[in-house]
Structure 1
């Protein structure tokens, strides 16, 4: 890894690099526009991934997009999560089914937070799995099954993209593969729908 890729900055250094105050950096972070800093001991540190994200936010803002629209574009799960039945409903549904809870955590659909609470990891995936009137338990079960089926394909897709695009920074690779996979699946589904319709 190069020195530049490994560079870590304090909030003062980060703010100076992007031409902002530390207060503004914290404000963008609180709004979900900038990921939380990495921790080195008790010190919050920023890296080049934070720089890339902040520069993207500033570029979109300069083009006239409001911050809420930018947040929805760059972190749709944060926005969508506000509209999903999480919290107590999720905990209740999953705790009633320990096997499903274990499978959901193992597959990465649900994350157990340090305080023991549960969080759905990808709101878009939950919405895609949900059927009108389906229980949260059923929705999570469908999602866990889909992740299990896709896991081997995901591993080979990640490896293949990494081989064919070595210039993509590792921190951007997963996002690139997810979006490419989404495009490919959407195209296949679209062709399937048009064939069925004719």
Structure 2
């Protein structure tokens, strides 16, 4: 399969102008020359096109290296990355590979602020016990870090989380609610991923749209998805309440 990928790539690059030396490719992708050659040796990218003693790289190399970098950011090991790339179609174009990377891009940004426990207590205006912090973690208002006295915080939700702590929300209830959110969020994520993989991605591939167009569409889809989930949840809660009342009458 790797030989076929290389042959397809050489044919596509033969009359193209998007040629880079390994140094230019390294600068563009933000890797060292040594790393690129190591990845080439492992078969993560096709070999360069040779012209005499010189080897040239193109957009396919760039797209695949950017995909490798995205997979690394998601915690994939090198062997897992190799397996992922092996499953790409042999005739995948740079645009196809870029679309794969778009599908892997984080759906939401990281929590925006990192603060110490002292700063967190200063913001909340109260001392936070270990149980209080566990409730906030379960509610995903704060997120622990390897440093036990440092947390990543969602400032917009902090006051609401602390209000629930002050109202005495039991830790067990917060943890149980988090499990419900996690279970159903995973199911929603898997089903939405299937929609993008089976319906959106093929459409963009067949239409010849640039990967940037799909990236922009995904960005626009995010807030709509959040609002749709909130609306559906509110409707479901109201219907559940009505069903409980009907059963009791």
Band of TM-score, shorter chain: 0.3 to 0.5
Bigger Rg over Cα: 2
Choose between structure 1 and 2 for higher RCO, CA contacts under 8 A separated by at least 6 residues. Answer: 2
TM-score (norm 2): 0.30
TM-score (norm 1): 0.37
